[in-house]
Chains A and B, each alone.
Chain A
Amino acid sequence: MTTPAPGRPTPGRPGPGTPGPGAPGQAGSAPGPRAGAPDSPGTAHTVLSGADIGRVLTRMAHQILEKTAGGNGVVLLGIPTRGVPLARRLADRVRAVEGVELGVGSLDPTMHRDDLQLRAVRPLAVTDLPDGGIDGRTVILVDDVLFSGRTVRAALDALAQFGRPRVVQLAVLVDRGHRELPIRADYVGKNMPTSRQEAVAVRLTETDGRDAVMILSEGAGR
Protein backbone atom coordinates (compact mmCIF):
# COMPACT_ATOMS: atom_id res chain seq x y z
CA MET A 1 0.00 0.00 0.00
CA THR A 2 1.36 3.37 -0.93
CA THR A 3 1.42 6.12 1.57
CA PRO A 4 -0.83 8.98 0.74
CA ALA A 5 0.75 12.29 1.31
CA PRO A 6 -0.97 14.27 3.99
CA GLY A 7 -2.83 17.09 2.45
CA ARG A 8 -6.14 18.54 1.83
CA PRO A 9 -8.32 15.68 0.74
CA THR A 10 -10.60 16.30 -2.18
CA PRO A 11 -14.02 14.85 -1.78
CA GLY A 12 -14.83 12.51 -4.60
CA ARG A 13 -11.24 11.94 -5.57
CA PRO A 14 -10.51 8.26 -5.15
CA GLY A 15 -7.59 7.70 -2.94
CA PRO A 16 -4.98 5.06 -3.61
CA GLY A 17 -6.24 1.60 -3.01
CA THR A 18 -9.72 2.79 -2.51
CA PRO A 19 -12.41 0.54 -3.84
CA GLY A 20 -15.29 2.07 -5.72
CA PRO A 21 -17.98 3.91 -3.89
CA GLY A 22 -20.21 1.84 -1.71
CA ALA A 23 -23.72 0.88 -2.55
CA PRO A 24 -25.72 3.82 -3.90
CA GLY A 25 -27.19 5.65 -0.99
CA GLN A 26 -30.66 6.95 -0.52
CA ALA A 27 -31.67 10.47 0.16
CA GLY A 28 -31.60 11.39 3.80
CA SER A 29 -29.45 12.96 6.38
CA ALA A 30 -25.86 11.97 6.51
CA PRO A 31 -25.19 9.84 9.53
CA GLY A 32 -22.44 10.99 11.75
CA PRO A 33 -19.15 9.22 11.46
CA ARG A 34 -19.07 8.09 15.05
CA ALA A 35 -22.59 6.78 15.28
CA GLY A 36 -22.58 3.16 16.24
CA ALA A 37 -24.39 0.92 13.81
CA PRO A 38 -25.09 -2.73 13.83
CA ASP A 39 -22.98 -4.50 11.29
CA SER A 40 -25.05 -5.83 8.45
CA PRO A 41 -23.05 -8.44 6.54
CA GLY A 42 -23.90 -8.26 2.89
CA THR A 43 -24.77 -4.56 2.86
CA ALA A 44 -21.74 -3.27 4.73
CA HIS A 45 -18.62 -2.99 2.62
CA THR A 46 -15.38 -3.71 4.44
CA VAL A 47 -12.67 -1.31 3.38
CA LEU A 48 -9.95 -2.07 5.90
CA SER A 49 -9.40 -5.40 7.56
CA GLY A 50 -7.86 -5.85 10.99
CA ALA A 51 -4.48 -6.48 9.40
CA ASP A 52 -4.87 -3.36 7.23
CA ILE A 53 -5.55 -1.25 10.28
CA GLY A 54 -2.45 -2.61 11.99
CA ARG A 55 -0.30 -1.68 9.01
CA VAL A 56 -1.86 1.77 8.70
CA LEU A 57 -1.24 2.55 12.38
CA THR A 58 2.35 1.41 12.16
CA ARG A 59 2.88 3.70 9.21
CA MET A 60 1.26 6.59 11.08
CA ALA A 61 3.52 5.97 14.08
CA HIS A 62 6.53 6.28 11.82
CA GLN A 63 5.21 9.50 10.34
CA ILE A 64 4.65 10.94 13.79
CA LEU A 65 8.22 10.15 14.80
CA GLU A 66 9.43 11.67 11.60
CA LYS A 67 7.43 14.88 11.84
CA THR A 68 7.97 15.50 15.54
CA ALA A 69 11.70 14.88 15.67
CA GLY A 70 11.47 11.57 17.43
CA GLY A 71 8.32 12.20 19.40
CA ASN A 72 9.91 14.78 21.62
CA GLY A 73 7.29 16.41 23.89
CA VAL A 74 4.39 14.76 22.12
CA VAL A 75 1.04 14.13 23.82
CA LEU A 76 -1.51 11.98 22.05
CA LEU A 77 -5.07 12.92 23.00
CA GLY A 78 -7.74 10.57 21.77
CA ILE A 79 -11.19 11.92 21.03
CA PRO A 80 -13.76 9.57 22.56
CA THR A 81 -14.93 7.01 21.82
CA ARG A 82 -12.60 5.32 19.31
CA GLY A 83 -9.92 7.95 19.15
CA VAL A 84 -8.86 6.95 22.65
CA PRO A 85 -7.78 3.34 21.88
CA LEU A 86 -6.26 4.58 18.62
CA ALA A 87 -4.10 7.04 20.56
CA ARG A 88 -2.98 4.22 22.85
CA ARG A 89 -2.14 1.99 19.90
CA LEU A 90 -0.10 4.72 18.26
CA ALA A 91 1.77 5.27 21.50
CA ASP A 92 2.40 1.51 21.75
CA ARG A 93 3.81 1.44 18.23
CA VAL A 94 6.06 4.46 18.83
CA ARG A 95 7.40 2.74 21.94
CA ALA A 96 7.98 -0.47 19.96
CA VAL A 97 9.80 1.36 17.17
CA GLU A 98 11.87 3.92 19.06
CA GLY A 99 11.46 3.07 22.71
CA VAL A 100 10.01 6.54 23.24
CA GLU A 101 7.17 7.02 25.77
CA LEU A 102 4.61 9.53 24.51
CA GLY A 103 2.03 11.10 26.78
CA VAL A 104 -1.42 9.63 26.18
CA GLY A 105 -4.84 10.87 27.27
CA SER A 106 -8.33 11.65 26.14
CA LEU A 107 -10.22 14.85 25.38
CA ASP A 108 -14.00 15.00 25.20
CA PRO A 109 -15.06 17.95 23.02
CA THR A 110 -18.83 17.53 23.60
CA MET A 111 -19.31 20.64 25.70
CA HIS A 112 -17.76 22.74 22.93
CA ARG A 113 -19.74 21.35 20.02
CA ASP A 114 -21.76 23.77 17.93
CA ASP A 115 -24.28 21.15 16.86
CA LEU A 116 -25.60 19.97 20.23
CA GLN A 117 -29.11 21.07 19.52
CA LEU A 118 -29.35 18.98 16.39
CA ARG A 119 -29.46 15.72 18.33
CA ALA A 120 -30.50 14.18 21.60
CA VAL A 121 -28.27 15.17 24.47
CA ARG A 122 -24.92 13.37 24.41
CA PRO A 123 -23.50 11.72 27.49
CA LEU A 124 -20.10 13.10 28.34
CA ALA A 125 -16.95 11.01 27.99
CA VAL A 126 -13.79 11.14 30.02
CA THR A 127 -11.25 13.89 29.60
CA ASP A 128 -7.95 12.69 30.97
CA LEU A 129 -4.79 14.66 30.39
CA PRO A 130 -1.40 13.05 31.06
CA ASP A 131 0.70 14.30 33.95
CA GLY A 132 2.56 17.39 32.97
CA GLY A 133 -0.37 18.85 31.10
CA ILE A 134 -0.17 20.28 27.62
CA ASP A 135 1.52 23.64 28.01
CA GLY A 136 4.33 23.91 25.50
CA ARG A 137 3.86 20.37 24.24
CA THR A 138 3.05 19.02 20.81
CA VAL A 139 -0.50 17.77 21.12
CA ILE A 140 -1.73 15.33 18.50
CA LEU A 141 -5.48 14.90 18.51
CA VAL A 142 -6.43 11.41 17.45
CA ASP A 143 -9.80 10.44 16.03
CA ASP A 144 -11.17 7.56 14.00
CA VAL A 145 -12.92 9.40 11.17
CA LEU A 146 -12.49 12.93 9.90
CA PHE A 147 -15.72 14.13 8.31
CA SER A 148 -17.15 17.65 8.69
CA GLY A 149 -14.35 18.83 10.95
CA ARG A 150 -16.76 20.04 13.62
CA THR A 151 -15.59 17.54 16.20
CA VAL A 152 -12.00 18.68 15.71
CA ARG A 153 -12.98 22.31 15.96
CA ALA A 154 -14.78 21.58 19.25
CA ALA A 155 -11.72 19.65 20.43
CA LEU A 156 -9.47 22.62 19.68
CA ASP A 157 -11.72 24.81 21.81
CA ALA A 158 -11.80 22.22 24.56
CA LEU A 159 -8.03 22.01 24.46
CA ALA A 160 -7.71 25.72 25.02
CA GLN A 161 -9.41 25.23 28.39
CA PHE A 162 -6.45 23.21 29.60
CA GLY A 163 -3.54 25.24 28.45
CA ARG A 164 -1.46 26.39 25.48
CA PRO A 165 0.27 23.67 23.46
CA ARG A 166 3.21 24.66 21.29
CA VAL A 167 1.73 22.85 18.29
CA VAL A 168 -1.52 21.00 17.71
CA GLN A 169 -1.73 18.31 15.05
CA LEU A 170 -4.39 15.91 13.96
CA ALA A 171 -4.19 12.19 13.26
CA VAL A 172 -7.16 10.24 11.86
CA LEU A 173 -7.58 6.66 10.80
CA VAL A 174 -9.96 7.57 7.97
CA ASP A 175 -10.56 10.83 6.13
CA ARG A 176 -13.86 10.52 4.37
CA GLY A 177 -14.05 14.06 3.00
CA HIS A 178 -16.99 16.49 3.10
CA ARG A 179 -15.29 19.08 5.29
CA GLU A 180 -17.42 21.98 6.51
CA LEU A 181 -14.55 23.84 8.16
CA PRO A 182 -11.00 24.68 7.13
CA ILE A 183 -9.46 21.75 8.93
CA ARG A 184 -7.09 19.10 7.64
CA ALA A 185 -5.32 16.16 9.16
CA ASP A 186 -1.55 15.91 9.57
CA TYR A 187 -1.62 12.12 9.61
CA VAL A 188 -4.19 10.17 7.63
CA GLY A 189 -4.45 6.40 7.75
CA LYS A 190 -6.63 6.20 4.69
CA ASN A 191 -8.37 8.70 2.46
CA MET A 192 -11.77 7.28 1.69
CA PRO A 193 -14.03 9.26 -0.62
CA THR A 194 -17.63 8.62 0.25
CA SER A 195 -21.03 9.93 -0.61
CA ARG A 196 -22.88 11.84 2.08
CA GLN A 197 -25.52 9.17 2.17
CA GLU A 198 -22.97 6.63 3.28
CA ALA A 199 -21.61 6.11 6.75
CA VAL A 200 -18.12 5.05 7.67
CA ALA A 201 -18.07 2.61 10.56
CA VAL A 202 -14.87 1.96 12.45
CA ARG A 203 -14.76 -1.10 14.66
CA LEU A 204 -11.96 -1.58 17.16
CA THR A 205 -11.24 -4.53 19.37
CA GLU A 206 -11.18 -2.37 22.50
CA THR A 207 -14.69 -1.01 21.93
CA ASP A 208 -16.32 -3.44 19.53
CA GLY A 209 -14.52 -6.75 19.83
CA ARG A 210 -12.89 -6.70 16.39
CA ASP A 211 -10.98 -4.44 14.02
CA ALA A 212 -12.53 -3.29 10.74
CA VAL A 213 -13.46 -0.20 8.73
CA MET A 214 -16.64 -0.42 6.69
CA ILE A 215 -18.77 1.72 4.46
CA LEU A 216 -22.45 1.37 5.22
CA SER A 217 -25.02 2.54 2.76
CA GLU A 218 -28.17 4.25 3.96
CA GLY A 219 -30.20 1.10 3.46
CA ALA A 220 -27.78 -1.07 5.38
CA GLY A 221 -29.87 -1.38 8.47
CA ARG A 222 -28.92 1.97 9.90
Chain B
Amino acid sequence: MMRHLLSTQDLGRDDALLVLDTAEYMATVAGRSVKKLPTLRGRTVVNLFFEDSTRTRTSFELAAKRLSADVINFSVRGSSVSKGESLKDTAQTLEAMGADAVVCRHPASGAPHRLAAWVRGSVLNAGDGIHEHPTQALLDAFTIRRRLGRVEGLSVTIVGDVLHSRVARSNVWLLSTLGASVTVVAPPTLVPVGVEQWPVAVSYDLDAVLPTSDVVMMLRVQRERMTAAFFPTEREYSRRYGLDADRLAAMPPSALVMHPGPMVRGMEIASDVADSTRSTVVEQVANGVSVRMAVLYLLLGGTREVP
Protein backbone atom coordinates (compact mmCIF):
# COMPACT_ATOMS: atom_id res chain seq x y z
CA MET B 1 0.00 0.00 0.00
CA MET B 2 1.00 3.57 -0.53
CA ARG B 3 2.67 5.84 1.94
CA HIS B 4 0.61 8.94 1.10
CA LEU B 5 -2.66 9.61 -0.65
CA LEU B 6 -1.99 12.69 -2.74
CA SER B 7 -3.67 12.01 -6.01
CA THR B 8 -5.90 9.36 -7.53
CA GLN B 9 -3.50 9.34 -10.43
CA ASP B 10 -0.98 7.49 -8.27
CA LEU B 11 -3.59 4.92 -7.39
CA GLY B 12 -3.43 1.64 -9.28
CA ARG B 13 -6.51 -0.44 -9.86
CA ASP B 14 -5.59 -2.96 -7.16
CA ASP B 15 -4.94 -0.26 -4.57
CA ALA B 16 -8.18 1.50 -5.45
CA LEU B 17 -10.15 -1.72 -5.10
CA LEU B 18 -8.41 -2.45 -1.81
CA VAL B 19 -9.63 0.90 -0.49
CA LEU B 20 -13.18 0.21 -1.63
CA ASP B 21 -13.18 -3.32 -0.21
CA THR B 22 -11.77 -2.11 3.08
CA ALA B 23 -14.41 0.62 3.16
CA GLU B 24 -17.08 -2.05 2.89
CA TYR B 25 -15.84 -3.49 6.16
CA MET B 26 -15.72 -0.04 7.74
CA ALA B 27 -19.29 0.61 6.66
CA THR B 28 -20.41 -2.31 8.81
CA VAL B 29 -18.89 -0.64 11.84
CA ALA B 30 -21.31 2.24 11.48
CA GLY B 31 -24.18 -0.19 11.94
CA ARG B 32 -22.87 -1.67 15.18
CA SER B 33 -23.77 -0.65 18.68
CA VAL B 34 -20.13 0.12 19.40
CA LYS B 35 -18.93 2.23 16.48
CA LYS B 36 -15.33 2.16 17.51
CA LEU B 37 -12.36 -0.01 16.65
CA PRO B 38 -9.07 -0.06 18.56
CA THR B 39 -6.99 -0.34 15.40
CA LEU B 40 -5.14 2.98 15.44
CA ARG B 41 -4.82 3.34 19.19
CA GLY B 42 -1.75 5.43 19.93
CA ARG B 43 -1.60 6.92 16.47
CA THR B 44 -1.93 10.66 15.96
CA VAL B 45 -3.83 12.13 13.05
CA VAL B 46 -3.60 15.87 12.45
CA ASN B 47 -6.28 17.64 10.48
CA LEU B 48 -4.38 20.51 8.91
CA PHE B 49 -6.90 22.78 7.27
CA PHE B 50 -5.80 25.95 5.52
CA GLU B 51 -9.27 26.32 4.09
CA ASP B 52 -12.56 26.11 5.94
CA SER B 53 -14.37 22.92 5.24
CA THR B 54 -16.38 21.73 8.18
CA ARG B 55 -17.85 18.78 6.35
CA THR B 56 -14.57 17.31 5.14
CA ARG B 57 -12.78 17.96 8.41
CA THR B 58 -15.59 16.42 10.41
CA SER B 59 -15.66 13.39 8.17
CA PHE B 60 -11.93 12.78 8.63
CA GLU B 61 -12.21 13.45 12.34
CA LEU B 62 -14.98 10.93 12.78
CA ALA B 63 -13.12 8.37 10.68
CA ALA B 64 -9.96 8.73 12.74
CA LYS B 65 -11.85 8.62 16.03
CA ARG B 66 -13.74 5.48 15.02
CA LEU B 67 -10.34 3.88 14.61
CA SER B 68 -9.27 5.15 18.06
CA ALA B 69 -6.57 7.49 16.73
CA ASP B 70 -5.81 10.70 18.58
CA VAL B 71 -7.05 13.60 16.49
CA ILE B 72 -5.69 17.11 16.53
CA ASN B 73 -7.45 19.80 14.56
CA PHE B 74 -4.98 22.36 13.32
CA SER B 75 -6.77 25.14 11.50
CA VAL B 76 -4.67 27.84 9.96
CA ARG B 77 -7.18 30.61 9.70
CA GLY B 78 -6.93 33.42 7.25
CA SER B 79 -4.05 31.68 5.62
CA SER B 80 -3.54 32.68 2.06
CA VAL B 81 -1.15 31.81 -0.66
CA SER B 82 0.76 34.99 0.05
CA LYS B 83 1.48 33.69 3.55
CA GLY B 84 2.26 30.25 2.20
CA GLU B 85 5.84 30.20 3.42
CA SER B 86 4.52 29.11 6.77
CA LEU B 87 3.74 25.68 5.31
CA LYS B 88 7.24 24.42 5.95
CA ASP B 89 7.25 25.78 9.49
CA THR B 90 3.90 24.15 10.07
CA ALA B 91 5.29 20.87 8.77
CA GLN B 92 8.12 21.06 11.27
CA THR B 93 5.66 21.74 14.06
CA LEU B 94 3.67 18.66 13.09
CA GLU B 95 6.87 16.63 13.02
CA ALA B 96 7.62 17.74 16.54
CA MET B 97 4.13 16.68 17.61
CA GLY B 98 4.78 13.24 16.21
CA ALA B 99 1.95 13.23 13.72
CA ASP B 100 1.56 9.83 12.10
CA ALA B 101 -0.75 11.22 9.47
CA VAL B 102 -1.51 14.72 8.27
CA VAL B 103 -4.82 15.34 6.58
CA CYS B 104 -4.19 18.47 4.54
CA ARG B 105 -6.67 20.83 2.94
CA HIS B 106 -5.00 23.75 1.19
CA PRO B 107 -6.03 26.40 -1.31
CA ALA B 108 -2.86 25.90 -3.37
CA SER B 109 -2.63 23.04 -5.82
CA GLY B 110 0.25 20.73 -4.89
CA ALA B 111 0.64 21.90 -1.27
CA PRO B 112 0.17 18.36 0.12
CA HIS B 113 2.91 17.15 -2.24
CA ARG B 114 5.28 19.66 -0.70
CA LEU B 115 4.18 18.71 2.79
CA ALA B 116 4.90 15.06 2.01
CA ALA B 117 8.50 16.00 1.33
CA TRP B 118 8.84 17.62 4.75
CA VAL B 119 7.14 15.21 7.16
CA ARG B 120 7.80 11.60 8.05
CA GLY B 121 4.16 10.72 8.51
CA SER B 122 1.62 9.97 5.84
CA VAL B 123 -0.03 12.85 4.05
CA LEU B 124 -3.65 12.63 2.96
CA ASN B 125 -4.75 15.18 0.47
CA ALA B 126 -8.11 16.48 1.63
CA GLY B 127 -8.40 18.84 -1.33
CA ASP B 128 -5.69 21.06 -2.78
CA GLY B 129 -6.61 24.08 -4.84
CA ILE B 130 -8.11 22.93 -8.12
CA HIS B 131 -5.87 19.89 -8.27
CA GLU B 132 -7.31 16.84 -6.48
CA HIS B 133 -9.58 15.58 -3.75
CA PRO B 134 -8.82 11.86 -3.72
CA THR B 135 -11.04 10.73 -0.84
CA GLN B 136 -14.03 12.44 -2.44
CA ALA B 137 -13.46 10.43 -5.62
CA LEU B 138 -13.02 7.24 -3.61
CA LEU B 139 -16.27 7.82 -1.76
CA ASP B 140 -18.00 8.58 -5.03
CA ALA B 141 -16.73 5.33 -6.54
CA PHE B 142 -17.75 3.52 -3.36
CA THR B 143 -21.21 5.02 -3.55
CA ILE B 144 -21.58 4.04 -7.20
CA ARG B 145 -20.45 0.50 -6.48
CA ARG B 146 -22.83 0.10 -3.57
CA ARG B 147 -25.78 1.40 -5.57
CA LEU B 148 -25.10 -0.16 -8.95
CA GLY B 149 -22.95 -3.13 -7.97
CA ARG B 150 -19.94 -2.15 -10.04
CA VAL B 151 -17.99 0.71 -11.54
CA GLU B 152 -16.44 -1.07 -14.49
CA GLY B 153 -18.31 -0.57 -17.72
CA LEU B 154 -20.53 2.24 -16.43
CA SER B 155 -20.96 5.55 -18.23
CA VAL B 156 -20.28 8.37 -15.80
CA THR B 157 -20.99 11.96 -16.81
CA ILE B 158 -19.36 14.77 -14.86
CA VAL B 159 -21.12 18.10 -15.38
CA GLY B 160 -20.05 21.62 -14.53
CA ASP B 161 -16.98 23.63 -13.72
CA VAL B 162 -14.43 20.99 -14.66
CA LEU B 163 -11.70 23.62 -15.05
CA HIS B 164 -11.78 24.63 -11.39
CA SER B 165 -12.80 21.30 -9.88
CA ARG B 166 -10.50 19.08 -7.85
CA VAL B 167 -13.38 16.66 -7.48
CA ALA B 168 -13.62 16.31 -11.25
CA ARG B 169 -9.91 15.66 -11.66
CA SER B 170 -9.77 13.01 -8.95
CA ASN B 171 -12.87 11.32 -10.29
CA VAL B 172 -11.65 11.33 -13.87
CA TRP B 173 -8.48 9.40 -12.99
CA LEU B 174 -10.07 7.07 -10.46
CA LEU B 175 -13.19 6.15 -12.39
CA SER B 176 -11.26 5.49 -15.56
CA THR B 177 -8.75 3.39 -13.60
CA LEU B 178 -11.73 1.40 -12.34
CA GLY B 179 -12.99 0.87 -15.89
CA ALA B 180 -15.80 3.41 -16.20
CA SER B 181 -16.16 5.53 -19.31
CA VAL B 182 -16.19 9.13 -18.26
CA THR B 183 -17.67 12.06 -20.14
CA VAL B 184 -17.20 15.62 -18.97
CA VAL B 185 -19.85 18.15 -19.88
CA ALA B 186 -19.33 21.87 -19.45
CA PRO B 187 -19.40 25.11 -21.35
CA PRO B 188 -16.11 25.22 -23.34
CA THR B 189 -14.81 28.01 -21.09
CA LEU B 190 -14.90 25.66 -18.11
CA VAL B 191 -13.03 22.79 -19.77
CA PRO B 192 -9.26 23.01 -19.35
CA VAL B 193 -6.93 23.42 -22.30
CA GLY B 194 -5.13 20.09 -22.45
CA VAL B 195 -8.25 18.04 -21.63
CA GLU B 196 -7.62 16.05 -24.81
CA GLN B 197 -4.93 14.21 -22.85
CA TRP B 198 -7.47 13.05 -20.26
CA PRO B 199 -9.07 9.63 -20.47
CA VAL B 200 -12.50 11.20 -21.07
CA ALA B 201 -14.91 12.24 -23.76
CA VAL B 202 -15.84 15.91 -23.81
CA SER B 203 -19.30 17.19 -24.64
CA TYR B 204 -20.85 20.64 -24.52
CA ASP B 205 -24.37 19.24 -24.76
CA LEU B 206 -25.81 17.80 -21.57
CA ASP B 207 -29.05 16.63 -23.17
CA ALA B 208 -27.14 14.55 -25.69
CA VAL B 209 -25.36 12.47 -23.06
CA LEU B 210 -28.03 12.08 -20.36
CA PRO B 211 -29.93 9.15 -21.98
CA THR B 212 -26.79 7.00 -21.99
CA SER B 213 -25.46 7.97 -18.55
CA ASP B 214 -25.52 5.52 -15.66
CA VAL B 215 -24.28 8.17 -13.27
CA VAL B 216 -24.53 11.95 -13.52
CA MET B 217 -22.21 13.77 -11.20
CA MET B 218 -22.98 17.47 -10.81
CA LEU B 219 -20.24 19.89 -9.81
CA ARG B 220 -20.72 23.06 -7.88
CA VAL B 221 -20.55 26.19 -9.99
CA GLN B 222 -19.49 29.26 -8.12
CA ARG B 223 -21.40 32.38 -8.97
CA GLU B 224 -18.20 34.42 -9.17
CA ARG B 225 -17.23 32.55 -12.34
CA MET B 226 -19.91 34.57 -14.04
CA THR B 227 -18.12 37.84 -13.43
CA ALA B 228 -14.97 36.39 -15.02
CA ALA B 229 -16.90 35.81 -18.25
CA PHE B 230 -16.90 32.03 -18.08
CA PHE B 231 -20.61 32.18 -18.88
CA PRO B 232 -23.02 35.04 -19.48
CA THR B 233 -25.61 34.65 -16.75
CA GLU B 234 -26.66 32.26 -14.05
CA ARG B 235 -29.92 31.73 -15.86
CA GLU B 236 -28.20 30.73 -19.08
CA TYR B 237 -25.88 28.37 -17.25
CA SER B 238 -28.72 26.75 -15.43
CA ARG B 239 -30.72 26.31 -18.63
CA ARG B 240 -27.89 24.70 -20.53
CA TYR B 241 -26.12 22.73 -17.81
CA GLY B 242 -28.40 22.55 -14.77
CA LEU B 243 -30.02 19.26 -13.79
CA ASP B 244 -33.77 19.72 -13.44
CA ALA B 245 -36.71 17.32 -13.32
CA ASP B 246 -37.05 17.18 -17.10
CA ARG B 247 -33.45 16.21 -17.53
CA LEU B 248 -33.74 13.70 -14.71
CA ALA B 249 -36.59 12.12 -16.64
CA ALA B 250 -34.35 11.82 -19.69
CA MET B 251 -31.89 9.67 -17.76
CA PRO B 252 -32.21 5.88 -17.59
CA PRO B 253 -34.49 4.88 -14.69
CA SER B 254 -31.65 3.35 -12.67
CA ALA B 255 -29.20 6.20 -13.24
CA LEU B 256 -27.82 7.99 -10.21
CA VAL B 257 -27.49 11.69 -9.49
CA MET B 258 -24.45 12.60 -7.45
CA HIS B 259 -23.12 15.82 -6.01
CA PRO B 260 -20.04 16.29 -3.85
CA GLY B 261 -21.66 19.18 -2.01
CA PRO B 262 -22.11 21.86 -1.05
CA MET B 263 -24.86 22.25 -3.63
CA VAL B 264 -25.98 25.48 -5.18
CA ARG B 265 -29.65 24.61 -5.47
CA GLY B 266 -31.32 26.22 -8.42
CA MET B 267 -28.01 26.71 -10.17
CA GLU B 268 -26.47 23.40 -11.18
CA ILE B 269 -29.12 21.24 -9.56
CA ALA B 270 -32.83 21.75 -8.97
CA SER B 271 -34.02 21.19 -5.43
CA ASP B 272 -36.42 18.40 -6.27
CA VAL B 273 -33.66 16.56 -8.14
CA ALA B 274 -31.26 16.91 -5.24
CA ASP B 275 -33.87 15.44 -2.90
CA SER B 276 -35.06 12.64 -5.19
CA THR B 277 -34.48 8.97 -4.45
CA ARG B 278 -32.09 8.88 -7.39
CA SER B 279 -29.83 11.31 -5.60
CA THR B 280 -27.02 9.87 -3.50
CA VAL B 281 -26.08 13.14 -1.85
CA VAL B 282 -26.80 12.00 1.72
CA GLU B 283 -25.26 8.55 1.22
CA GLN B 284 -22.14 10.18 -0.10
CA VAL B 285 -21.67 11.86 3.24
CA ALA B 286 -22.04 8.60 5.19
CA ASN B 287 -19.82 6.74 2.76
CA GLY B 288 -17.21 9.43 3.16
CA VAL B 289 -16.57 8.31 6.73
CA SER B 290 -16.19 4.65 5.71
CA VAL B 291 -13.81 5.47 2.87
CA ARG B 292 -11.72 7.73 5.06
CA MET B 293 -11.54 5.04 7.73
CA ALA B 294 -10.33 2.65 5.05
CA VAL B 295 -7.67 5.05 3.84
CA LEU B 296 -6.48 5.81 7.36
CA TYR B 297 -6.29 2.11 8.15
CA LEU B 298 -4.39 1.31 4.97
CA LEU B 299 -1.93 4.15 5.47
CA LEU B 300 -1.41 3.73 9.21
CA GLY B 301 -2.44 0.15 9.97
CA GLY B 302 0.89 -1.48 9.18
CA THR B 303 4.55 -1.10 9.82
CA ARG B 304 6.35 2.04 8.65
CA GLU B 305 9.06 0.00 7.02
CA VAL B 306 8.65 -1.13 3.48
CA PRO B 307 8.32 -4.92 3.56
A residues in contact (CB < 8 Å) with B: 108, 111-112, 116-124, 126-127, 157, 160-162
Q: 1/0 contact trace for B231-256 toward A, CB 8 Å?
A: 00000000000000000000000000
Known: A112-B39, A161-B34, A162-B32. A124 touches B1 (CB 8 A): no
Q: Report yes or no: A120 in contact with B307, Cβ–Cβ below 8 A.
A: yes
* Stretch in B110-118, B131-139, B294-302 touching the partner: B294-302
Residues of B within 8 A of A127 (CB): 25, 28
Q: Report yes or no: A116 in contact with B302, Cβ–Cβ below 8 A.
A: yes
Known: A123-B21, A124-B25. A112 touches B37 (CB 8 A): yes
Known: A111-B297, A112-B38. A119 touches B303 (CB 8 A): yes
Q: How far is the CB of A113 from chain B (nearest CB, A)?
A: 8
Q: Which of A118, A161, A162 contacts B303 (CB 8 A)?
A: A118
Query: Does B90 sit within 8 A of A, measured CB to CB?
Result: no
Q: Report yes or no: B34 in contact with A121, Cβ–Cβ below 8 A.
A: no
Query: Does B271 sit within 8 A of A, measured CB to CB?
Result: no
Q: Report yes or no: A122 in contact with B302, Cβ–Cβ below 8 A.
A: yes
* Alpha-carbon separation in the docked complex, A127 to B303 (Å): 24
Q: Which among B34, B38, B39 has the greatest number of chain A C-beta atoms within 10 A?
A: B38
B residues in contact (CB < 8 Å) with A: 1, 18, 21-22, 25, 28-29, 32, 34, 37-39, 67, 297-299, 301-304, 307
Q: A113's closest neighbor in chain B, by CB?
A: B39
Q: A115's closest neighbor in chain B, by CB?
A: B303
* Alpha-carbon separation in the docked complex, A161 to B39 (Å): 13
Q: Report yes or no: A161 in contact with B32, Cβ–Cβ below 8 A.
A: yes
* Alpha-carbon separation in the docked complex, A112 to B29 (Å): 13
8 closest pairs, A vs B, by CB?
Answer: A121-B302, A120-B307, A111-B39, A121-B301, A111-B37, A124-B25, A120-B302, A121-B1
Residues of B within 8 A of A122 (CB): 301-302
Q: How far is the CB of A68 from chain B (nearest CB, A)?
A: 26
Residues of A within 8 A of B34 (CB): 160-161
Q: Report yes or no: B25 in contact with A117, Cβ–Cβ below 8 A.
A: no
Q: Report yes or no: B21 in contact with A117, Cβ–Cβ below 8 A.
A: no
Known: A121-B298, A162-B32. A108 touches B303 (CB 8 A): no
* Alpha-carbon separation in the docked complex, A160 to B25 (Å): 16
Known: A117-B302, A121-B298. A108 touches B1 (CB 8 A): no
Q: B22's closest neighbor in chain A, by CB?
A: A124
A-B contact pairs, 12 of them (CB 8 A): A111-B25, A111-B39, A111-B297, A116-B301, A116-B302, A119-B302, A119-B303, A121-B298, A122-B301, A124-B22, A124-B297, A161-B37
Residues of B within 8 A of A116 (CB): 39, 301-302
Residues of B within 8 A of A157 (CB): 38
Residues of A within 8 A of B1 (CB): 120-121
Q: Which among A118, A120, A124 has the greatest number of chain B C-beta atoms within 10 A?
A: A124
Q: Report yes or no: A120 in contact with B303, Cβ–Cβ below 8 A.
A: yes
* Alpha-carbon separation in the docked complex, A42 to B181 (Å): 51
* Alpha-carbon separation in the docked complex, A120 to B39 (Å): 14
Residues of A within 8 A of B302 (CB): 116-117, 119-122
Known: A111-B39, A112-B38, A116-B302. A123 touches B22 (CB 8 A): yes
Residues of B within 8 A of A161 (CB): 29, 32, 34, 37
Q: How far is the CB of B121 from chain A (nearest CB, A)?
A: 13
Q: How far is the CB of A122 from chain B (nearest CB, A)?
A: 7
* Alpha-carbon separation in the docked complex, A127 to B32 (Å): 13
Q: A117's closest neighbor in chain B, by CB?
A: B303
* Alpha-carbon separation in the docked complex, A162 to B32 (Å): 7
Residues of B within 8 A of A117 (CB): 302-304
Residues of A within 8 A of B303 (CB): 117-120
* Alpha-carbon separation in the docked complex, A157 to B68 (Å): 14
Q: Which among A121, A160, A161 has the greatest number of chain B C-beta atoms within 10 A?
A: A121
Residues of B within 8 A of A119 (CB): 302-303, 307
Q: Report yes or no: A111 in contact with B307, Cβ–Cβ below 8 A.
A: no
Residues of A within 8 A of B297 (CB): 111, 121, 124
* Alpha-carbon separation in the docked complex, A100 to B278 (Å): 45
Q: B36's closest neighbor in chain A, by CB?
A: A161
Known: A116-B39, A116-B302, A119-B303. A124 touches B32 (CB 8 A): no
Q: How far is the CB of A121 from chain B (nearest CB, A)?
A: 3
Sample of 14 more A-B contacts, CB < 8 Å, known A121-B1, A122-B301: A111-B37, A111-B38, A111-B67, A112-B37, A112-B38, A119-B303, A119-B307, A121-B298, A121-B299, A124-B297, A126-B25, A127-B25, A160-B34, A162-B32
Q: A129's closest neighbor in chain B, by CB?
A: B28
* Alpha-carbon separation in the docked complex, A124 to B20 (Å): 11
Q: B40's closest neighbor in chain A, by CB?
A: A116
* Alpha-carbon separation in the docked complex, A162 to B304 (Å): 31
